Amino acid sequence: MTLTTEGPARVRMPGEIGVLQVKTTLLQTIVIPTFNERDNIETLLDRLVAVLPADQSEIIFVDDSTDDTPDVIRAAAATCPIPVIVHHRENGVGGLGGAVVAGMRRASGAWIVVMDADLQHPPEVVPELIAAGRRDGADLVVGTRYRGGGNRDGLSDSYRRLVSGGSTFATKVLFRNSLLQVSDPMSGLFAVRASSLAIDELRPLGYKILLELAVRNRPGRIVEVPYSFQQRHAGESKSSLAEGMRFLKHLAVLRFGAQRTRMLAFALIGVSGLLPNQLALWLLAGVAGVHYLPAAVAANLIAVGWNFALTDMLLYRNRRHRSFASRITRFFVLGNADLLLRIPLLALLVSGLQMGVLVANLVTLLASFVVRFLILDKVIYLAEPSARETA
Ligand SMILES: Nc1nc2c(ncn2[C@@H]2O[C@H](COP(=O)(O)OP(=O)(O)OP(=O)(O)O)[C@@H](O)[C@H]2O)c(=O)[nH]1
Ligand SMILES: [Mg+2]
């Protein structure tokens, strides 16, 4: 094995302050995330073997499959001249991005190349990525479909092209500074110099690990290598609407931070609660003839129920450590205790400070919103102890 001089990955071990230098013994590690890709493995390995120096390379598959893909990889690895590691995960934490980071942690190459298993990323481009990085002294080499002869012909239909083009544009606008040198921030094909990686700073969420890396690690020099995005070789796409929602969340967390993103989502849920609130009030007071005060209290209860359902199912789905009964009780107490705060505050603003009723009402709603969010976020839906510092 050749000992390269290009520098090790930076890894911080649990409980350790500072950075541990991991020895890199190879030129390159190819990290390939797989989810049910059994029919692509053989061709993928054959094509990688044809272009990579076997004594300076390793291939790490990080697999979250529910089929026999890991067995297929192990069988192919037995005759593969390049060492192949299969890291199968039962929990699939962080999805594709989490898999890539898990692979990076085990890499011993001075360069880590990330690519898909379905041959949409031609294996023949891998040596070009490394050569460009070494030649230009780059920390990050991005395979691009949008520059210098690259293309995205493999995107199956115009809908996929539109989604891909739209998300590329939005991402470039949101992260203008970090992505100045990157024309294809959605790319899943890239090479990173291991010594420039700060793995512990990455918080992968879904597909867009390159974006995560470019924004949080702030690599020095970034260069691009054009390539032609191919049709999927075999098997099925795993991208879905849920993955699209995860991407939007990823963008928001990267841009605004995790807590402010939750606050924004909580505000949107709160605004959406106006609809059932007004509807219930109209039905009770307008149609059924109930007095407007009890009708307003009932409408408020319905809106709190609506807010609870959305908050519990969407916003804090991963933090439901308390029992359902405990969560719903606390949520309702908070949603109605709200009135205890708002009514005296309203009286103070209107009678004490001579503020207009509508403006004062808005102020109390905003104050209550912030207080309720903080109680929810810090008391009712407590983060796991280990996740608290980043929550
Ligand atoms: N380990 C792991 N790999 C995943 C996961 N989701 C997708 N992958 C892999 O990530 C790569 C990209 O996924 P694809 O389904 O091809 O996504 P895509 O390229 O956006 O979609 P298509 O263009 O339709 O192929 C493939 O190698 C998948 O097997 C996951 O949750 N865990
Ligand atoms: Mg694909």
- The pLDDT tens digits for 243-281 are 888 899 999 999 999 889 999 999 999 889 888 888 888
Nearest to 41 by CA among 15, 17, 63, 12: 63
Residue 18 has pLDDT above 70, yes or no: no
Nearest to 96 by CA among 236, 210, 255: 210
Residue 383 has pLDDT above 90, yes or no: no
Q: Is residue 99 in contact with ligand 1, taking CB distance under 6 Å?
A: yes
Q: Which two tokens stand for residue 226?
A: 């054009």
Q: Which two tokens stand for residue 332?
A: 């309702």
Predicted pLDDT of residue 385: 63
Q: Which two tokens stand for residue 189?
A: 């094909």
Predicted pLDDT of residue 6: 52
- The pLDDT tens digits for 324-345 are 999 999 999 988 877 788 778 8
CA of 70 to the centre of ligand 1 (A): 15
Q: Is residue 152 in contact with ligand 1, taking CB distance under 6 Å?
A: no
Q: Is residue 172 in contact with ligand 1, taking CB distance under 6 Å?
A: no
Among 4-18, 37-51, 141-155, 292-306, the minimum mean pLDDT is found in: 4-18
Burial of residue 359, with CB atoms counted within 10 A of its CB: 0-12 exposed, 13-18 middle, 19 or more buried:
exposed
Ligand nearest to the CA of 152: 1
Q: Is residue 361 in contact with ligand 1, taking CB distance under 6 Å?
A: no
Q: Is residue 110 in contact with ligand 1, taking CB distance under 6 Å?
A: no
**Kind of pairing, strands 140-144 and 190-193?**
antiparallel
- The pLDDT tens digits for 188-225 are 999 999 999 999 999 988 889 999 999 999 999 999 99
Q: Is residue 273 in contact with ligand 1, taking CB distance under 6 Å?
A: no
Neighbour tally for 246: CB within 10 Å:
18
Q: What is the chain's Cα-based Rg? A: 26
The one-letter code for the residue type at 42 is E
Residue 69 has pLDDT above 90, yes or no: yes
Q: Which of 96, 153, 207 to mutate to test the pocket of ligand 1 (most atoms within 8 A of CB)?
A: 96
Q: What is the pTM of this model?
A: 0.78
For ligand 1, atom 25: residue with the closest CA:
237
Ligand nearest to the CA of 160: 1
- The pLDDT tens digits for 74-127 are 999 999 999 999 999 998 888 999 999 999 999 999 999 999 999 999 999 999
Among 1-10, 269-278, 285-294, the minimum mean pLDDT is found in: 1-10
CA of 386 to the centre of ligand 1 (A): 28
CB 181 within 8 A of CB 224: yes
CB 206 within 8 A of CB 252: no
CB 357 within 8 A of CB 350: yes
User: Strands of 26-34's sheet, edge to edge?
Assistant: 84-88, 57-63, 26-34, 109-114, 190-193, 140-144, 222-226
Name the phi and psi angles at 39, rounded to 5: -85, 0
- The pLDDT tens digits for 146-203 are 988 778 776 767 887 888 888 899 999 999 988 989 999 999 999 999 999 999 999 9
Q: How far apart are CA 203 and CA 12, in angstroms?
A: 14
Name the phi and psi angles at 11, rounded to 5: -130, 130
CB 66 within 8 A of CB 91: no
Residue 19 has pLDDT above 50, yes or no: no
Average pLDDT over every residue of 26-34: 96
CB neighbours of 171 closer than 8 A, spacing ≥ 6? 179, 185, 186, 208, 211, 251
Q: How far apart are CA 338 and CA 297, in angstroms?
A: 12
If one compares 205 and 297, the residue with the highest pLDDT of the two is 205
Residue 287 has pLDDT above 60, yes or no: yes
Predicted pLDDT of residue 134: 95
CB 27 within 8 A of CB 109: yes
Among 27-36, 295-304, 353-362, the minimum mean pLDDT is found in: 353-362
99 CA closest ligand 1 atom index:
1
Q: How far apart are CA 178 and CA 217, in angstroms?
A: 10
Predicted pLDDT of residue 20: 42
Predicted pLDDT of residue 369: 85
Average pLDDT over every residue of 63-84: 96
Predicted pLDDT of residue 163: 85
CB neighbours of 283 closer than 8 A, spacing ≥ 6? none
Model confidence at 24, pLDDT cuts 50, 70, 90, reads low
156 CA closest ligand 1 atom index:
23
Predicted pLDDT of residue 15: 39
Q: How far apart are CA 57 and CA 224, in angstroms?
A: 22
Q: Which of 30, 64, 116 to mutate to test the pocket of ligand 1 (most atoms within 8 A of CB)?
A: 116
Predicted pLDDT of residue 127: 97
Q: Which two tokens stand for residue 231?
A: 């049709």
Q: Which two tokens stand for residue 319?
A: 């933090």
Q: Is residue 34 in contact with ligand 1, taking CB distance under 6 Å?
A: yes
Q: How far apart are CA 13 and CA 26, in angstroms?
A: 22
Name the phi and psi angles at 256, rounded to 5: -110, -15
If one compares 83 and 297, the residue with the highest pLDDT of the two is 83
Average pLDDT over every residue of 40-61: 97
Q: How far apart are CA 16 and CA 201, in angstroms?
A: 14
Element at 86 (helix H, strand E): strand 84-88
Neighbour tally for 50: CB within 10 Å:
9
CA of 235 to the centre of ligand 2 (A): 9
Q: Is residue 299 in contact with ligand 1, taking CB distance under 6 Å?
A: no
- The pLDDT tens digits for 350-376 are 888 988 877 777 788 788 888 889 998
Q: Write out the residues surrounding ion ligand 2, Cβ under 5 A.
A: 116, 118, 120
CB neighbours of 37 closer than 8 A, spacing ≥ 6? 65, 69, 117, 118, 234, 235
CA of 118 to the centre of ligand 2 (A): 6
Among 6-20, 51-65, 277-291, the minimum mean pLDDT is found in: 6-20
- The pLDDT tens digits for 223-245 are 999 999 998 888 887 777 888 88
CA of 231 to the centre of ligand 2 (A): 8
Predicted pLDDT of residue 222: 96
Neighbour tally for 197: CB within 10 Å:
25
Average pLDDT over every residue of 138-146: 95
Predicted pLDDT of residue 387: 54
